[in-house]
């Protein structure tokens, strides 16, 4: 008995020491800002899958709008302090926004229990109002945080912050403007409650049969507008592909204001349907503004449907108002030729990793079966990997990174998890450095895989490591001398080296010569390819080829 009492006593002491450590650590955290350069601090692991992306986004907001916004995640609040107290103390002691005219914002996430607080500096309260903060805390993040998909919610939050930042910077507002924006939030219960411990879902009515696939692409688009008008949260509507239905199951808690906004945006908007037998694009304009980004439709057995897979993969949304499409050899590319291209996105997916709408129902059935299996056997690494892979191919869920990381941890010798993690880090959040780390681990395990070296070369090119990109693409050509993707990318890489090298650099002539050598080789391989035209335009732009006379 004495021995048992001693064990209990020691366990109690250990628990007390652990608790005190948490409090001491929190006190130290609250006293001093850990870094003047980082805008995302993650003490709970909540933001690990998107920290780099969020930090980069917030830095761009700081640079462009003079507003220093931070996101901080902590495991729990000290017992004697509320989330409001912690946020206020952190705001003051860390001097968030002090170097930017007092323009500071803090979004604090507490993991246990789930709580959110948006602290706003006094200098911003005229635009970042209580109603706005309540909307962020109660409506914008609630569904995502509680469903383990906080990354998606934070992207939406950063977009809302940027919209208000634009108002503040350009002084394009008065009390009436802000009040009108706030009224939409207040009508949806913004600010009603900030503790998210109780998961409250919106009312979802099953109405799928009322919104069938379209006989024509235009009819499908009009059905989409009706979905917004009627605020339909039921994901099982006929105008969605099966994967779209699965994806939209995670978005049933959008507030009414979201649907009203989308309906008003598109109701009278001029558009054009560009289509072939299998695919269609609802084209508005190639001008800036997210509302001008196209919608992608595909024809299934029972009619035209909204295709969220191709929408997510190929219609890329940058920081407002920029948008564009990804380059590549995919189904909608010819129909999207009038759209602007987006910042070099050009992932060299292997044939087996490309989505086709004809396989949509098969993929959806497989995903449902795997989800059910994982719920029953959460330690099944193969099922986790297969689910992560399918989610990557179909852009089904942002939880794919979590599934693949779990599979990798359980079975670190399997190279496949590294591969699909590398794809997902770029596909979801443009996190090139994380993708480079994963693809290098993949290459260690599969050293002769062409995709691995092509993808590494692409990532290094995007990160400005041109010498590294050349080495990676040359490795591809050692394995496959006529690999068209690698040849085209080598031409572009050498052109970039030529354009960015100092005039006195003696290697400039060599860079220019090599850009031409690989361009001519690519042209000999596939003279009619659209990729040749992209390379040719790039070389003319950078002075490798002479510009055409007007």
Does the structure show a pLDDT above 80 at 149?
A: no
pLDDT at 500: 95
Cα dihedral 82, 150, 51, 43 in deg (nearest 10): 30
At 45, the pLDDT band (50, 70, 90 cuts) reads: confident
What are the phi and psi torsion angles at 89 (to 5°)? -65, -45
pTM: 0.84
Average pLDDT over residues 517-535: 95
* Burial classification of residue 461, based on how many CB atoms lie within 10 Å of its CB (0-12 exposed, 13-18 middle, 19 or more buried): buried
Does the structure show a pLDDT above 60 at 492?
A: yes
According to CATH, what is the number of the domain 348-447? Answer: 1.25.40.10
pLDDT at 2: 46
Which secondary-structure segment (H or E) carries 370? helix 360-376
- Top mean-pLDDT range of 6-20, 190-204, 232-246, 344-358: 232-246
Does the structure show a pLDDT above 50 at 107?
A: yes
According to CATH, what is the number of the domain 208-346? Answer: 3.10.450
At 114, the pLDDT band (50, 70, 90 cuts) reads: confident
At 330, the pLDDT band (50, 70, 90 cuts) reads: confident
> Hunting for tokens 């006190």 — which residue is that?
27
Euclidean distance between the first and final Cα of the chain, in Å?
Answer: 96
Average pLDDT over residues 497-505: 94
Please answer whether residues 194 and 83 qualify as being in contact, where contact means their C-beta atoms are separated by less than 8 angstroms. Answer: yes
pLDDT at 405: 95
pLDDT digits (tens, 9 = 90+) for 276-328: 999 999 999 999 988 899 999 999 999 999 999 999 999 998 777 789 999 88
Q: What percent of the chain has pLDDT over 70?
A: 86
Architecture of domain 458-550: Alpha Horseshoe (1.25)
Return the higher-pLDDT residue of 460 and 130.
460
Q: Tell me how far CA of residue 494 lies from CA of 59, 163, 478, 499, 517, in angstroms.
A: 30, 39, 18, 9, 10
pLDDT at 205: 63
At 341, the pLDDT band (50, 70, 90 cuts) reads: confident
Quote the DSSP letter at residue 214.
B
Average pLDDT over residues 394-409: 91
The CATH fold of domain 35-186:
Diaminopimelate Epimerase; Chain A, domain 1 (3.10.310)
Q: How many C-beta neighbours within 10 Å does residue 47 have? A: 22
pLDDT at 386: 98
pLDDT at 184: 60
pLDDT at 172: 61
pLDDT digits (tens, 9 = 90+) for 168-212: 776 566 667 777 776 665 555 444 334 444 434 556 566 768 999
At 261, the pLDDT band (50, 70, 90 cuts) reads: confident
């Amino acid at each position: 008995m004495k021995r048992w009492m001693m064990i209990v006593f020691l366990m109690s002491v250990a628990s007390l020491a652990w608790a005190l450590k948490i409090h001491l650590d929190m006190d130290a955290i609250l006293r001093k800002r850990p870094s003047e350069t980082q805008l995302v601090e993650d003490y709970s692991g909540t933001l690990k899958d998107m920290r780099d992306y969020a930090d980069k986004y917030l830095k761009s907001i700081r640079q462009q709008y003079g507003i220093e916004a931070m996101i901080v995640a902590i495991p729990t609040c000290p017992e004697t302090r509320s989330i409001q107290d912690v946020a206020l103390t952190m705001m003051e002691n860390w001097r968030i926004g002090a170097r930017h005219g007092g323009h500071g914002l803090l979004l604090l996430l507490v993991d246990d229990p789930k709580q959110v607080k948006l602290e706003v500096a006094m200098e911003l309260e005229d635009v970042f109002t209580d109603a706005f903060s309540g909307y962020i805390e109660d409506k914008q993040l609630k569904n995502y945080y509680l469903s383990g998909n906080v990354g998606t919610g934070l992207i939406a939050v950063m977009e809302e912050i940027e919209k208000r930042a634009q108002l503040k910077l350009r002084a394009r507002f008065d009390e009436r403007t802000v009040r009108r924006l706030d009224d939409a939030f207040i009508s949806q219960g913004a600010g009603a409650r900030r503790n998210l411990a109780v998961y409250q879902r919106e009312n979802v009515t099953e109405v799928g049969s009322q919104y069938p696939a379209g006989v024509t692409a235009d009819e499908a688009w009009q059905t989409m507008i009706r979905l917004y008008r009627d605020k339909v949260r039921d994901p099982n509507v006929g105008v969605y592909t099966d994967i779209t239905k699965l994806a939209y199951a995670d978005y049933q808690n959008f507030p009414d204001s979201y649907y009203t906004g989308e309906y008003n945006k598109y109701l009278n908007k001029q558009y054009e349907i560009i289509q072939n037998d299998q695919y269609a694009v609802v084209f508005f304009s190639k001008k800036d503004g997210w509302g001008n980004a196209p919608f992608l439709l595909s024809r299934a057995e029972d009619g035209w449907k909204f295709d969220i897979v191709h929408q997510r993969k190929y219609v890329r949304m940058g920081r407002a108002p920029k948008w564009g499409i990804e380059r590549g050899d995919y189904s909608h590319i010819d129909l999207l030729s009038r759209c602007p291209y987006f910042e070099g996105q050009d992932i060299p997916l292997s044939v087996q990793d490309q989505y086709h709408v004809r396989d949509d129902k098969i993929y959806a059935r497989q995903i449902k079966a795997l989800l059910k299996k994982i719920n029953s056997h959460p330690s099944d690494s193969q099922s986790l990997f297969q689910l992560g892979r399918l989610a990557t191919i179909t852009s089904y869920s942002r939880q794919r990174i979590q599934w693949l990381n779990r599979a990798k941890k359980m079975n670190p010798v399997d190279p496949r998890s590294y591969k699909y993690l590398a794809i997902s880090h770029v596909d979801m959040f443009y996190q090139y450095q994380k993708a480079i780390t994963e693809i290098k681990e993949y290459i260690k395990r599969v050293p002769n895989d062409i995709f691995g070296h092509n993808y590494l070369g692409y990532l290094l090119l995007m990160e400005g490591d041109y010498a590294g990109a050349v080495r990676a693409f040359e490795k591809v050509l050692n394995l496959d001398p006529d690999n068209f993707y690698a040849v085209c990318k080598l031409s572009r890489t050498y052109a970039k080296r030529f354009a960015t090298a100092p005039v006195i650099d003696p290697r400039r002539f060599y860079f220019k010569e090599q850009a031409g050598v690989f361009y001519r080789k690519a042209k000999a391989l596939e003279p009619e390819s659209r990729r040749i035209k992209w390379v040719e335009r790039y070389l003319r732009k950078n002075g490798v080829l002479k510009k055409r006379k007007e």
